[in-house]
Structure 1
Amino acid sequence: MKRFIPVLFLVIFSATSAQNFSDRWLGHFSYLNVSDISEGENEIYVSAENAVFSYNLLTKEIKTVTTIDGLQGEIISTMHFSKDFNKLMIGYTNGLIEIFDPVTRDVRKVVDILNKQVIPPNQKRVNHFNETGNIIYVACQFGIVEYNIERLEFGDTFFIGTAGGLLNVTQTAVVGNQIFAATAGQGIKVADLTDPNLIDSAKWITRISGTWNGIVAFNNTVYAVRSNRQLWRFNGTAFVNTGFVHPQTLNDLKANDQFMTISTTRDVFVLNTGGAVQAQISNFENNTVTFKAGQVIGNSLFVGSAEKGLMKFDLPNVTTPEFIAPDGPIRNDSFAIRAAPEELWVVFGQYTTFFNPFPLDSRGISHLQKGEWLNIPFSELRNARDLSSINISPIDGKVYISSFHDGLLVLEDNQVVELFNNTNSGLESLSAAPDIRIHDTKFDSNGDLWVTNSRIERAIKVLRSNGQWQSFSVRNVISEPFLNTELAFAKMVIGRDGTKWIGSISNGLIGFNENNGTPQIKKLTEEEGNMPNNSVQAVALDNRNQLWIGTRRGLRVLFNTGGFFTDPNVQAEAVIILENGVPQELLFEQFITDIEVDGSNNKWIGTVDSGVFMLSPDGQRTLQRFTQDNSPLPSNVINDISIDEQTGRVYFATQRGLV
């Protein structure tokens, strides 16, 4: 029975031009995790997570396209360059499509799939672009959409699932007047492109059942890869098994006039028109590299990887590759950053909302110096995992990097010179097996390095400038058992009087002062100190010695920092602003991740899902609000902010890149 369900999914397509931010912003993206590649005119286009770069095959020139140029910053799922129309189609996991013009460098956003409410958010992924004439057949998780690349507008949408329902189409292929659609769970469906009524799902005939991960037209024949990793061929009437089986999951299937390329997790196969394997890459670097896409161009095999960027192999030997990628950090998910004059340090450790570092991350360090990136691999870091914070000595320039499991790294001239742990320092492990949870560190005016060591009693530690360690108890503000009543300490700042202001996850704001040998320690909580929440994520002292406090549920300011230990009724205050004449609490209920103060005493506040707020010195005016929608921020999730005091540059570390 015919059902014309597509009427229920009527889409009115529209597009907008993206803004270019290159006059005020710089992007620092990683290009090592490649998701797709596509051949252009004498060049190859490469997508890497949420950015794109091109490599000129003649001049070897590399150009990048990022959020600075107008890309949205979402995760790219597929890509296709149209040689006939000189346009790059970029598809995203959330349904967004962007069209990049390499001549004008304009980015056109097509948001209709993204915004269509009747399609569930988890079924909007763009899987593949297939160009036939002036039509791009867009394979999506819900079906197939026609896009006229000449007129830059959509045509029909085909819902080809059972009874016209949604169906995940992994890839399409066209031979003659027939279009073949590989699907997840409902086989390979075939339709006649000359039929004017393809919106009727009954026109799409199932030629073979099962789940199919890819399909391609090669040598005027359709080949498809089944979920069991078998390669099948359409002989004109039915699909037949070619007998070729690849060992791992298919990541990419491409073809040109001479070769078909099958890219799997650990192997890449190049098949000629006779079906024989012309070249094969296996056991590359001891199977430590994940292959994401492959394509033969001329006498070279280009392979995109998840760790090494783009690799160029000479055919047919495919032995030693040339590595191709723009300059950038190791990863995009920068967790903590620290700016210094004309340089920036970046680490990529992670932990959960409640500071659980497991599973442990083994990641390197990236260092931007004089406009160039140096990436230090994990193999050179003495097995220090989950790197979470960075500090630079004002005395000798050594860099101290915290590990939320293995202690405290010390680097000099980009080389590790020390790893402080429970065997060679005052740092302590929370268990017999080493588990040393170090987060923020700060130098005081004497050159002493202060350290927070989580989930132990003597949690406040200091490495004196003479090399001696000393520890201080937090028993007066945190009850036993220390393993459970305080999971972690967050950020720390040191005041002019030597007071250490420390954010804690469960016990509010903690102030500590050595007080000439008679230590003082006190906390400010939700119950007693007018705090919006006891989980303090960020602290910053401004030019007036006022302490700005960021919690998981809002902002507070401690105006009387000098009387913190002596005033029995000391309280933090909310910043009240007038909004349309009505008093409102500034950043009410916002999860604040970081606060930084610039030379003009403005406050830069990062949040977990609302981007960045730039506030006036007293907080009464929001001078700027940066989000993914109005700026090149690739994400509204801000992990860290750091300011180069010499140049005035403000760096934002997000979960999807650094700008």
Structure 2
Amino acid sequence: MFSKVSKSLLIILSIFLHLGNGFAQDIPIGTWRDHLPYADAISVSQGNNIIYCATNSAVFTFNKTDNSIERLNLVNGLSDINPNKIKFNPYNGKVIIAYKNGNIDVLDINKKITNIPFILTSSVVGSKKINHIFIKNQFAYLSTDFGIVVLNTDKLEITDTYFYGALGSDMITNSVTMDSQNIYAASTQGVYFASLTSNNLADFNNWSLLTDLGSVNYSSIVFFSNLLIASSNSTTSLGDSIYFNLNGVWQLVTSVGDDIENIEVLSGNRLVVNKLYGTEIFDENLVLLQQLYTYNGSIPIVSNEVVLDNENILWFADNFKGLVKFSTNNSPSFIAPDGPSTSSSFALDMIGDDLWMVSGGYAQQINQNNLNHRKNGSWSKFPTFINNPLSGVLAGLVEVAINPKNTSQVFVGSWSAGLIEYNNDNLVQVYNAQNSPLDSVFFGPTQVGTVNFDEQGNLWVTTSFPNNNKALHVKKTDNTWFSYEFTGITGSNNFFTDAIIDKNGYKWFLDPSEGVIFVFDDNKTISNTSDDRIVKLGGPSDLIVEIPGSNILSIAEDHDGEIWLGTDEGIVVFFSTGGVFNNEITANQIFVEQDGNVEILLGTEVVTAIKIDGANRKWFGTQNSGVFLMDENGTKEISHFTKENSPLFSNNILDIAINDITGEVFFATDKGLVSYKGTATNPLDDYSLFIYPNPVKPDFNGTIAIRGLVEKSNVKIADINGNIVYETTSLGGQAIWDGKTIEGEKVTSGVYMVFVNSEDGSQKKAGKILFLN
């Protein structure tokens, strides 16, 4: 009997496990996920058979034993973003992670991370950037933009700070080293030294300038092969130089044309010189052994740091290729966790699992970051360096739109190149004033600020500051164009940054330069302008409707057809828009109770982004206070995420996108893209029940998702005897359950039935969930 029951349970378990395999890339409800670049490596260190690599946004490790990669970022334990240096301490196995803002994390051998914010929170005025880490036993000497800070990595505390400039002033310190007698500091004003026998290195009087080297900028200093070696940065045509001290006399090693980034001592008694483009390696006699400019004859080396392991393999922190494993006898290996090409996230568009990200920039020659596409959990990058006749690059990508009728077709608005079309991830066409009606700025670029599809699949595009006053254009499904000129309403001074097309087919366009909205109705007759209607709302001279604030920054339509606006003074709602062309429209502010006081919803916030989830709830992104999730009426706060209380990278939110199938919410911030697994999905017309996780393992303490529901479904969960243990109503197309009974007790092991039915009872579905407690 026991064997039969066990066999039955194994069969059931195998079925549940099989069902769950297709959702392995999903994350639990209420958890966060980073979407940071990892190919822009800036610092590397090694220890305990692990390579530690810091990028401009995060850290990752590579285990040489099993080739596994592990991310370390603000989501899973680091205290900050934007590291600058990483260093393994062989004395105790700890890893120091230093940030550009002076913050410090220490990672121990048990993967525990301890934050030491001493520099970050100090009263030092100006930059607190940490430029270099020198290890001596348990002490880490941190070269900063104001002096030297000594960190005891055993006690995890700061033990001293050296202000060794004139009269104890700040000194930008680039590097520190020691010999048996002295400590040396390479600074922007020369090389300084002090005796290690001094009782008080914090006293500037105990420091002296090495006058033979002069008071110029020195980027690095090392003690190698019983020689003190320093690299200087020169502004002359001779380039930078490397000097060594032999018997008290400074001698020139080499003068190079390329900028010297740094010099470091490698294991195996080697000295490495990292230059702007390339790396040189010297032996203990300062004889040049290798000059490396490419990894395989074609890919240039742009190394910030390099280490040499005991197998004579070089590990580069490359600015474009991430962590690079390189030896002269083998092909290079480029190692980096998957991610976008940049942390500059400006605007997003998403349909299902398809996410496109552009990096922004309302200027012709700035922000030439790649276009990025995430699908099935993997990122693809598309370079902007193409043969664009006007600017040479597709810079300033500010808007992106996926064709809902053909998701392989994507259009991108560029502030320097016009409208860009991609199909199946391939560049198809660039539309500008030369090949389309998209007019340009006077003798300048075609600036496309908004791109939207209507229900029929027509593409609506706005151009800013057009010569011919035609700011609105439509690319019809037959690939022909039609443009609109609204004399006296829009013109060559308009600057469009956001737009929607509502359920009525009305086009809403925001112009933040005037703080106004244009609403246009083509009456579904694109080429017939006789029945068109347009109205301008907002601004100081508007007699139709008063919109609070001086700037309108974001717009969204909810499931009830209400239009929500984000302004520099909070939220405004048009509850009814049918009379907008008859001057019958009212701008409403939402009032909420906060600590016993009635206040305007986000009345003190600059609301930069609005997104509606599957339960008609409102996600509001702000310029300074992170993200707010409000109920469907906007009167009840459900969540408020900030950099201080969550893994959100920044409180400056630029855009929001939602995976309407899984409920994952993506936040574009000025520090990078991050996502949060929300509780609501879009409702379905018919049931397609899916329960995750299933089975529920003993160590699971999160939230269970019951997905694939029709709107406002009633959900009942019963044990095998038919006893109801929990009941709830779906949020859009998803219900959530914490695995506990109505009384708050965790359910016992076994199979539980899930019964769902629509609000009117016309549709029903049942499923099962297995608990392994």
Per the normalisation by structure 1, the TM-score is 0.89
Partner residue in 2 for 1:63: 70
> Which whole-Å deviations, capped at 9, do the CAs of 1:352-375 have from their partners, x for residues lacking one?
xxxxx2324433222211111222
Q: Tell me which amino acid in the other structure corresponds to 1:137.
A: Y
Name the structure 1 match of 2:453: 443
CA contact (8 A) 2:566 2:607 kept: yes
Q: Which residue of 1 aligns with 2:616?
A: 601
Are the equivalent residues in 2 in contact too, given 1:389–1:403 (CA < 8 A)? yes
Look up the match of 1:200: 203
Asked whether the equivalents of residues 381 and 416 of structure 1 are also in contact (C-alpha less than 8 Å), the reply is no
CA distance in 2, matches of 1:102, 1:364: 37
Rounded to whole Å, the distance in 2 between the matches of 1:395 and 1:256 is 57
RMSD: 2.3
Q: Does 1:548 align with 2:564?
A: yes
* CA deviation after TM superposition for structure 1 residue 521, in Å: 0.9
The superposition leaves residues 59-91 of structure 1 with CA deviations (integer Å, 9 ceiling, x where unpaired) of 322211111112244322211111232221111
Is the 2:118–2:158 Cα contact (8 Å) retained in structure 1?
A: no
Partner SS, residue 120 of structure 2: helix
Shift of 1:224: 1.1
- Rounded to whole Å, the distance in 1 between the matches of 2:511 and 2:460 is 15
Determine the C-alpha separation between the residues in 2 that align with 1:53 and 1:591: 35
Aligned to 2:596: 581
> Secondary structure of the equivalent of 1:366?
strand
Superposition pairs of residues 458-497 of structure 1, within 5 angstroms: 458-478=470-490, 482-483=491-492, 485-486=493-494, 488-497=495-504
SS at match of 1:27: strand
Matched, 1:84 2:91: yes
Matched, 1:34 2:41: yes
Distance 1:381 1:557 in 2: 44
Match of 1:532 in 2: 548
Structure 1 distance, partners of 2:366, 2:203, is 51
Contact 1:399 / 1:410 at 8 angstroms: preserved in 2?
Answer: yes
Cα displacement string for residues 2-47 of structure 1 (whole angstroms, at most 9, x for unaligned residues): xxxxxxxxxxxxxxxxxxx997011111012121111222121111
Cross-structure match for 2:352: 341
2-side partners of 1:321 and 1:52: how far apart?
21
Residues 1:222 and 2:221 are matched in the alignment: no
Name the structure 2 match of 1:45. Answer: 52
Query: How far 1:379 sits from its partner (Å)?
Result: 4.5
Match of 1:430 among 432, 441, 444: 441
Partner of 2:167: 163
Higher relative contact order structure (alpha carbons within 8 Å, sequence separation ≥ 6)? 1
In 2, the alpha carbon distance for the partners of 1:263 and 1:551 equals: 49
The aligned runs of 1:635-646 (5 Å cut-off) are: 635-646=650-661
Match of 1:358 in 2: 364
Which consecutive aligned stretches of 4+ in structure 1 deviate over 4 angstroms post-superposition?
Answer: 283-289, 379-383
Which of 524, 531, 537 is the equivalent residue of 1:518?
531
1:439 is displaced (CA, Å) by 2.0
- Would you say the 8 A contact 1:506–1:534 is kept in 2? no
Q: CA deviation at 1:454?
A: 1.5
CA deviations on 1:261-300 (whole Å, 9 max, x unpaired) are: 1112112111111101111123778897643222222322
398-407 vs 526-535, which moves further = 526-535
Residue deviations 1:604-635 (CA, integer Å, cap 9, x gap) = 11222322121222222222121222111222
Q: What's the secondary structure of 1:489's corresponding residue? A: coil
In structure 2, the residue matched to 1:617 is 632
SS at match of 1:225: strand
Residue from 503, 507, 517 that aligns with 1:509 = 517
Match of 2:194 among 183, 191, 194: 191
Deviation at 1:419?
2.5
> Secondary structure at 2:75's aligned position in 1?
helix
% identical equivalent positions: 28
SS at 2:167 equivalent: helix
Letter aligned with residue 304 of structure 2: K
Distance in 2 of aligned mates of 1:22 and 1:240: 63
Deviates more, 1:532-541 or 1:330-339: 532-541
Q: Quick check: 1:371 aligned with 2:373?
A: no
* Distance of 1:524 and 1:102 partners within structure 2: 61
Cα deviation, 1:168-204, whole Å, max 9, x if unaligned, reads 121110222421111221x222222233222221112
The answer to whether the Cα contact below 8 Å between 2:293 and 2:301 also exists between their aligned partners in 1 is no
The alpha carbon displacement at 1:553 in A equals: 4.2
Unpaired runs of 5+ in structure 1?
1-20, 352-356
User: C-alpha distance in 2, partners of 1:217/1:22?
Assistant: 52
Give how far 1:331 is off: 0.9
Deviation string, structure 1 residues 480-509 (Cα, Å, up to 9, x no partner):
xx33x32x2111111111111111123311
Distance 1:385 1:156, change over 3 A: closer
User: C-alpha displacement at 1:636, in angstroms?
Assistant: 2.0
Give the aligned residue type for 1:272.
Answer: D
Q: How much does 1:114 deviate?
A: 0.9
User: Matched residue of 1:67: which SS?
Assistant: coil
Matched to 2:477, the amino acid is S
Instruction: State the distance in 2 between where 1:521 and 1:594 align.
Output: 25
Q: Which has the larger radius of gyration?
A: 2
Structure 1 equivalent of residue 218 of structure 2 = 212
Look up the equivalent residue of 2:607 and give its one-letter code. I
Deviations 1:426-447 (A, max 9, x none): 32223345x2111222221222
Instruction: Compute the displacement of 1:147 (Å).
Output: 1.3
Match of 1:309 among 299, 322, 327: 322
Query: Could you tell me whether the CA contact under 8 Å between 1:595 and 1:603 is conserved in 2?
Result: yes
